[in-house]
Amino acid sequence: MLERFSVRAEDQVLVDHEALRRTVADLFVACGVSDDDATAGADVLVTADLRGVETHGVSNMLRQYIGWFRDGVHKPSPEWTIVHETRGTATIDGDRGLGILQGGPAMQLTIEKARDVGVGTVTMRNSGHLGPIGHFAYQAAEQGMVGMCMTASSLLIVPTFGALPRYGTNPIAFAAPARSQPFMLFDAAMSTVASNKIGLARRVGADMEPGWIAEPDGTPVMEERPAPSGSFSLLPLGGTREQGSHKGYGLGLLVEVMTTLLAGAVPRMVERDTKPRHSFIAYNVAAFTDLDQFKDTMDQMLQTLTETPPAPGHERVLYPGLPEHETEMQRRANGIPLHREVIDWFSGITSELSVAPLVTL
């Protein structure tokens, strides 16, 4: 994550990841979520914070999830059903459940299908926010597979040359296993900047870079300015046509097809009441090649990348997943830095829901 979004040292409060998991799980249970689902949901959120993905960790997302449960937007105990299925595919109706609680079982079903026929693909409609989708792609990689995950939700991005937002940030995640190197894990929105980073920017007082957001009429904002306090529209990955925004736009539409149309749903740009949609894909490496050879070759490729001479002004070359792995090791040992405002929120919500307070370091 860009340094500008990090919590300043004077605003940091360190929290042990296990203590954070317990508190998050307790808050989910207080909202009516089952113990197993609460534990799984806490793992998704806290793992995001451990890996430095604060945009989709407890700081930004947990308060939204609790608010959605309270307002009846999502069901804490949905009865999701498989509405169409073959040996290698399935379509799930999420029954307005919360995506981060449904993503694990959905990906596991995908993995089981991939074990059977080589490739598994599961789509889910009528669900909720999926959180850090790389978590579910990584789930497949941990079981010797190449995992992919995509999700489509809110209307936030203006298409290239467009004046109104027509689709969401529509992130794509990809994970592949290695033997001794940290796994490759790519997880990125198809906008120039993830929408949740706007909230982080407000909290830490960071400015927006040129090409991140659009004026109300769709014109790209091409100078630095403070994070907007109200509604805003994002630009496709690339920012402007000259910088390749048509590519981000096309990838965003690809996600709509994979998550929405294949699930038998309608894009939110057509029907505003459409709930979030997701896609889970797993490739069983053993169905294509020898798994040990795959892992060894991944090690060679990833090591070659890290040994690439850096350009002037840079310390080293990274690959997707390496910074997150290093951040996780450091935060497991030393604690997760949360903003004081987040700690204050935890103090209020745990008292309100009669949950044991969060213990800080």
Contact 361, 14 (CB under 8 A): yes
Distance CA 361, CA 358 (A): 10
Specify the pLDDT at position 5: 65
Specify the pLDDT at position 52: 93
Specify the pLDDT at position 3: 66
Specify the pLDDT at position 139: 98
Contact 138, 44 (CB under 8 A): no
Specify the pLDDT at position 2: 59
Distance CA 314, CA 335 (A): 27
Contact 106, 278 (CB under 8 A): yes
Tally the residues of the chain.
Answer: 361
Residue in the block written with tokens 């907007």: 228
For residue 295, the number of C-alpha atoms closer than 13 Å in the C-beta half-sphere is 17
Query: Pairing relation of β-strands 89-93 and 119-125?
Result: parallel
Burial 80-119 (b: 16+ CB within 10 A, else e): beeeeeeeebbbbbbbbbbbbbbbbbbbbbbbebbbeeeb
| Beta-bridge mates of residue 90 | 85, 122
Distance CA 232, CA 194 (A): 12
As given in the structure block, the two tokens for residue 149 are 């995950």
Using CA of residue 138, residue 122, residue 278, residue 126, what is the dihedral sign? negative
To which H or E segment does residue 92 belong?
Answer: strand 89-93
Residue 113's contacts (CB-CB under 8 Å, 6 or more residues apart) are 87, 88, 89, 90, 119, 120, 121, 122, 282
| pTM confidence score | 0.93
DSSP states of 72-89: TSS-SS---EEEEE-SSE
Residue 162's contacts (CB-CB under 8 Å, 6 or more residues apart) are 218
**Could you tell me the domains of the chain?**
81-334 (3.30.1370.60)
Contact 80, 94 (CB under 8 A): yes
Where do the H-state alpha helices sit in 118-190?
134-141
Specify the pLDDT at position 349: 97
Angle between helices 63-71 and 340-352 (to 10 degrees): 30
Specify the pLDDT at position 318: 98
Distance CA 268, CA 288 (A): 36
Specify the pLDDT at position 271: 96
- pLDDT, averaged in runs of 10, over the chain (361 residues): 71 95 98 97 97 90 96 96 98 98 98 98 97 97 98 94 95 98 97 78 78 89 82 90 94 98 97 96 98 98 98 97 97 96 96 96 92
To which H or E segment does residue 151 belong?
Answer: strand 145-152
Contact 268, 91 (CB under 8 A): no
Distance CA 44, CA 133 (A): 9
Specify the pLDDT at position 224: 87
| Beta-bridge mates of residue 15 | 336
- As to burial, measured by CB atoms within 10 angstroms (0-12 exposed, 13-18 middle, 19+ buried), residue 316 is exposed
Specify the pLDDT at position 105: 98
As given in the structure block, the two tokens for residue 116 are 């059977």
* Among candidate residues 130, 177, 193, 184, the one with its CA nearest the CA of residue 1: 193
Specify the pLDDT at position 123: 98
